[in-house]
């Protein structure tokens, strides 16, 4: 039917699909060969327009073949037009991206029970994000048909060789094929990407600022992380939009049950253990902040179980309700930002330190200013006012410095009151020495003054007065 009218080769239906699209979707290899041979026999100067035609969704015949898992059809189309691997559809998916997703999906589903059916697939992956929703909607009918017979890694390798630029093509979430492979945790495909271009592709981030290493840390794929860190060790220092390194993400993952990946990063000397996220927390801070919540979660769950089982026991149920209410209140209270007593004391002491130190610095600066001003003042206009002013400012500065030092020691040693008291006593002692000296000096001058005015008579004069 196609021979009399060659225009049917390029005819489309309501969805924009050509005969080649439909044959590629159904996997009819012989039909595709027939269509391609007809173009060659007719010597139609269409410049490969048939294999490059897209439907209303922007999909080429290669998209349809890859999406439906027809490996041989995909290879035939790529051999016909190598540039076909670089075409993207309306949502930004290249054939390489679809191939990686398909291969990973079939690999993961092969690890599931053979009795897994179409209805249970969405339930198994409902906690996954965009990528699993994507695979469930596009490839959920492939498992019963293909199993693991498809050699997806070979197809990915061939696509990469024919169109290397497709490695950096991102979808609407900023994910490149490497991110997809990292999310699903296949060492073979990730190493394939690294062998071709490991110098730059591992540093590409998605729209959330997460690199492939962040995604691997989040999903808990230890073996794949070792491959990337071995070849690109400086990826451990990459930060996402929340200023988190892969170690921060690994800690959060470890708190959900993937502790091996945290152990691997913690032992790696190239990992920065002191890196801070946007909340100013290190990995140790994150672990400490979660410990209390874990304990309270366990108590809360036990309390709920007690509440459900105590309805049969009358008064014991009321006591259980009371305990549950107290526990839930404590749980909600601890979920709010909490501070330990040492942190509270440190913050209060630091505030008092600033409160006393700032005026002390101000008085000291003002005293020096008065000194310089008095030195520049004409000598014929000398007066004693600057002297008193400088004296008052200096004394206030001394008092402020002493009090600031006391509270500074409390801020530095909040957990060790012995050292804090030692520092405080040394400051007070050094400050009391000049005070004691001035007191003795004033007392001596007072005695000398009283003696000069006869208020303290000599011993002989005093005896004569007693006799008379």
Tell me how crowded residue 360 is: count the other CB atoms within 10 A of its CB: 19
Rounded to whole angstroms, the Cα distance separating 26 from 48 reads: 21
Based on the domain organization, do 153 and 173 belong to the same domain? yes
User: Structurally, how many domains does the chain consist of?
Assistant: 4
184 within 8 A of 108, measured Cβ to Cβ: yes
Q: Which domain holds residue 249?
A: 205-281
Based on the domain organization, do 354 and 319 belong to the same domain? no
Kindly state the helix (H) or strand (E) to which residue 450 belongs, with its residue range.
helix 417-452
The number of residues making up the chain comes to: 468
Sign of the CA dihedral with 176 first, then 182, 188, and 194 last:
positive
Rounded to whole angstroms, the Cα distance separating 234 from 213 reads: 11
Within 200-258, residue ranges assigned H as helices are: 212-219, 222-231, 246-254
Query: Exposure of 366 by Cβ count < 10 A (0-12 exposed, 13-18 middle, 19+ buried)?
Result: middle
Tell me how crowded residue 252 is: count the other CB atoms within 10 A of its CB: 17
What confidence score (pLDDT) does residue 370 get? Answer: 82
Based on the domain organization, do 125 and 68 belong to the same domain? yes
Give the DSSP per-residue string, 130-157.
HHHHHHHHHHTTTHHHHTT-S-HHHHHH
Exposure string (b/e) for 198-232, b if CB count within 10 Å is 16 or more? eeebbebbbeeebbbbbbbbbbbbbebbebbbeeb
Last residue of a domain, one of 134, 168, 198: 198
Rg (CA), the chain: 40
In a domain, 462, yes or no: no
What confidence score (pLDDT) does residue 265 get? Answer: 53
Based on the domain organization, do 168 and 241 belong to the same domain? no
pLDDT of 30-76, one tens digit each? Answer: 888 888 887 776 655 444 577 788 888 888 888 888 777 777 787 78
In a domain, 428, yes or no: yes
Tell me how crowded residue 339 is: count the other CB atoms within 10 A of its CB: 10
What confidence score (pLDDT) does residue 322 get? Answer: 45
Based on the domain organization, do 223 and 137 belong to the same domain? no
Based on the domain organization, do 331 and 408 belong to the same domain? no
Last residue of a domain, one of 170, 198, 226: 198
In a domain, 167, yes or no: yes
Based on the domain organization, do 138 and 154 belong to the same domain? yes
Kindly state the helix (H) or strand (E) to which residue 398 belongs, with its residue range.
helix 385-412
Task: Report phi then psi at 362, rounded to 5.
Answer: -65, -45
What confidence score (pLDDT) does residue 329 get? Answer: 46
Rounded to whole angstroms, the Cα distance separating 293 from 335 reads: 7
DSSP 121: H
Tell me how crowded residue 101 is: count the other CB atoms within 10 A of its CB: 26
Rounded to whole angstroms, the Cα distance separating 45 from 47 reads: 6
In a domain, 89, yes or no: yes
In a domain, 138, yes or no: yes
Rounded to whole angstroms, the Cα distance separating 146 from 132 reads: 19
C-alpha 32, offset from chain centre:
49
**Helix, strand, or coil (residue 212):** helix
In a domain, 458, yes or no: no
Kindly state the helix (H) or strand (E) to which residue 368 belongs, with its residue range.
helix 341-376
In a domain, 262, yes or no: yes
**The CATH number of the domain where 237 resides is what?**
1.25.40.20
Based on the domain organization, do 28 and 142 belong to the same domain? yes
Tell me how crowded residue 317 is: count the other CB atoms within 10 A of its CB: 16
Based on the domain organization, do 210 and 271 belong to the same domain? yes
188 within 8 A of 157, measured Cβ to Cβ: no
46 within 8 A of 7, measured Cβ to Cβ: no
Based on the domain organization, do 270 and 321 belong to the same domain? no
288 within 8 A of 306, measured Cβ to Cβ: no
Q: Give the residue carrying structure tokens 């690994």.
A: 250
| CA distance to 204, 230, 357, 399, per residue, from 198 (Å) | 11, 11, 54, 63
What confidence score (pLDDT) does residue 235 get? Answer: 78
Last residue of a domain, one of 198, 221, 248: 198
In a domain, 433, yes or no: yes
What confidence score (pLDDT) does residue 333 get? Answer: 40
**Helix, strand, or coil (residue 454):** coil
Based on the domain organization, do 70 and 13 belong to the same domain? yes
Q: Which two tokens stand for residue 221?
A: 């794929």
Tell me how crowded residue 33 is: count the other CB atoms within 10 A of its CB: 14
Based on the domain organization, do 148 and 271 belong to the same domain? no
Sign of the CA dihedral with 188 first, then 51, 170, and 106 last:
negative
Rounded to whole angstroms, the Cα distance separating 131 from 136 reads: 9
Residues of the chain with pLDDT under 50: 1, 45-47, 108, 111-151, 292-302, 304-305, 307-317, 319-320, 322-340, 462
Rounded to whole angstroms, the Cα distance separating 125 from 385 reads: 84
Exposure string (b/e) for 55-75, b if CB count within 10 Å is 16 or more? beeebbbbbbbbbbbbbebbb
What confidence score (pLDDT) does residue 433 get? Answer: 77
Residue 243 Ramachandran class (φ > 0 left, ψ -120 to 50 alpha, else beta): left
| CA distance to 208, 214, 247, 354, per residue, from 205 (Å) | 7, 9, 16, 42
């Amino acid at each position: 039917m196609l021979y009399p009218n060659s225009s049917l080769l390029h005819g489309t239906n309501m969805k924009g699909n050509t005969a080649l699209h439909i044959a590629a979707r159904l996997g009819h290899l012989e039909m595709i060969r027939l269509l391609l041979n007809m173009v060659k026999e007719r010597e139609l100067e269409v410049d490969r327009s048939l294999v490059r035609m897209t439907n209303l969704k922007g999909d080429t015949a290669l998209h349809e073949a890859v999406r439906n898992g027809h490996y041989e059809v995909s290879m035939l189309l790529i051999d016909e037009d190598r540039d076909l691997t670089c075409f993207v559809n309306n949502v930004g998916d290249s054939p390489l991206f679809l191939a990686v997703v398909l291969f990973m999906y079939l690999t993961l589903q092969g690890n599931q029970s053979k009795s897994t059916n179409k209805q249970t697939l969405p339930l198994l992956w409902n906690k996954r994000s965009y990528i699993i929703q994507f695979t469930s909607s596009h490839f959920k009918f492939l498992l019963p048909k293909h199993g693991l017979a498809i050699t997806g890694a070979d197809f990915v390798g061939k696509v990469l060789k024919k169109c290397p630029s497709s490695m950096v093509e991102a979808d609407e979430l900023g994910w490149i094929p490497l991110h997809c492979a990292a999310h699903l945790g296949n060492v073979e495909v990730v190493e394939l990407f690294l062998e071709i271009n490991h110098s730059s592709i591992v540093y590409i981030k998605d729209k959330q600022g997460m690199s492939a290493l962040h995604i691997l840390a989040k999903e808990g794929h230890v073996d794949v992380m070792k491959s990337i860190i071995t070849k690109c060790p400086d990826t451990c220092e990459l930060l996402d939009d929340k200023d988190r390194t892969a170690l921060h993400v690994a800690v959060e993952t470890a708190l959900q049950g993937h502790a091996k990946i945290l152990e691997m990063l913690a032992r790696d000397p190239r990992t920065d253990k002191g890196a801070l996220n946007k909340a100013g927390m290190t990995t140790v801070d994150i672990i400490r902040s979660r410990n209390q919540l874990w304990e309270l979660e366990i108590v809360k769950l036990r309390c709920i179980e007690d509440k459900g089982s105590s309805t049969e026991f009358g008064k014991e149920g009321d006591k259980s309700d009371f305990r549950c209410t107290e526990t839930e209140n404590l749980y909600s209270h601890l979920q709010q930002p909490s501070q330990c007593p040492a942190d509270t004391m440190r913050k209060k002491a630091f505030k008092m330190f600033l409160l006393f130190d700032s005026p002390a610095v101000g008085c000291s600066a003002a005293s020096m200013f008065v000194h310089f001003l008095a030195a520049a003042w004409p000598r014929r206009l000398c007066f004693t006012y600057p002297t008193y002013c400088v004296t008052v400012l200096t004394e206030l500065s001394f008092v402020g410095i002493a009090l600031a030092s006391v509270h500074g020691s409390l801020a530095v040693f909040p957990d060790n009151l012995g050292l804090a008291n030692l520092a405080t006593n040394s400051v007070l002692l050094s400050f009391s020495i000049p005070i004691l000296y001035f007191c003795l000096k004033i007392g001596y001058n007072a005695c000398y003054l009283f003696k000069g005015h006869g208020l303290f008579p000599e011993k002989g004069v005093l005896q004569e007065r007693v006799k008379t």
